[in-house]
């Protein structure tokens, strides 16, 4: 059996707000296997984004650990963590996080440029990824000239350009209408099948969440198997 790609073990995260300590995660454990789609469901404010930030090395836990391909992620140096973020993990956010002054192609090129790929190679990789998500005819459009669904597909293409092993998607359809949300989820599932990508998708949409392979519900700072 393949080794799990991503494992959270008793993750805790707390924040200080003046004299008060707010405990968001209280011992979350979950597993993501290679080529698997896993959803994390829960209402707003339960810690879904916090959990994805910890799984993707965007923040450090207060307790517990994250294993990536069997290695303790947070035992790495800051340089090694930055390399992991650039080469192993892709991110998709609810509000797309595109740079408004750049075209779709230029936005999608960013991960390759951060990997110090030559400009022509970055351009080729970005154009290929945009074609993969159905936007070959939108390469020169800026975000303000695209629909919400098209902007999210640019964001997905940008995540693909870095050739990650896992994509972390934080409420990726939370800003989209139901029909467009279905399109985005079907795209995720196609990429999972064709590329062998793993997905961790935080959502409050139970109907769409049932399309994933497995799921967890965040409840009182812990993860329980769902459904």
* Predicted TM-score (pTM) of this structure: 0.93
Q: What is the pLDDT of residues 78-90, one digit of tens each?
A: 999 999 999 999 9
CATH number of 34-60+78-226: 3.40.50.300
Residue ranges per structural domain of the chain: 34-60+78-226
Q: What is the pLDDT of residues 201-225, one digit of tens each?
A: 999 999 999 999 999 999 999 999 9
Distance, in Å, from the CA atom of 117 to the CA atom of 115, rounded to the nearest integer, reads 6
CA 203 to chain centre: 12
Q: What is the pLDDT of residues 9-34, one digit of tens each?
A: 999 999 988 889 889 999 999 999 99
- List b or e across 132-144, with b for residues whose CB sees 16 or more CB atoms inside 10 angstroms: bbebeebbebbbe
Distance, in Å, from the CA atom of 112 to the CA atom of 123, rounded to the nearest integer, reads 8
Predicted confidence at residue 1, as pLDDT, reads: 53
With a cut of 90, say whether residue 109 has pLDDT above it. yes
Single out the residue of 208, 56, 86, 192 nearest to residue 132, CA to CA.
192
Q: What is the pLDDT of residues 131-172, one digit of tens each?
A: 999 999 999 999 999 999 999 999 999 999 999 999 999 999
Contact 29, 83 (CB under 8 A): no
């Amino acid at each position: 059996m393949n080794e799990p790609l991503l494992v959270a073990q008793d993750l805790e995260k707390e924040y200080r707000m003046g004299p008060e300590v707010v405990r968001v995660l209280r011992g979350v454990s979950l597993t993501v296997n290679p080529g698997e789609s896993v959803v994390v469901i829960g209402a707003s404010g339960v810690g879904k984004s916090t959990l994805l930030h910890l799984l993707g090395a965007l923040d450090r836990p207060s307790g517990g650990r994250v294993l990536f391909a069997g290695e303790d992620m947070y035992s790495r140096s800051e340089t090694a963590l930055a390399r992991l973020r650039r080469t192993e993990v892709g991110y998709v956010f609810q509000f797309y996080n595109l740079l408004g002054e750049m075209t779709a192609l230029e936005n999608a090129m960013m991960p390759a440029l951060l990997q110090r790929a030559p400009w022509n190679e970055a351009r080729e990789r970005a154009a290929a990824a945009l074609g993969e998500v159905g936007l070959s005819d939108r390469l020169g459009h800026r975000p303000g000239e695209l629909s919400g669904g098209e902007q999210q597909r640019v964001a997905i293409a940008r995540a693909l350009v870095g050739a990650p092993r896992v994509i972390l998607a934080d409420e990726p359809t939370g800003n989209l209408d139901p029909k467009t949300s279905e399109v985005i989820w079907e795209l995720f599932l196609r990429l999972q099948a064709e590329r062998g990508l793993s997905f961790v998708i935080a959502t409050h949409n139970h109907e769409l969440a049932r399309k994933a392979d497995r799921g967890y519900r965040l409840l009182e700072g812990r993860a329980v198997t769902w459904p």
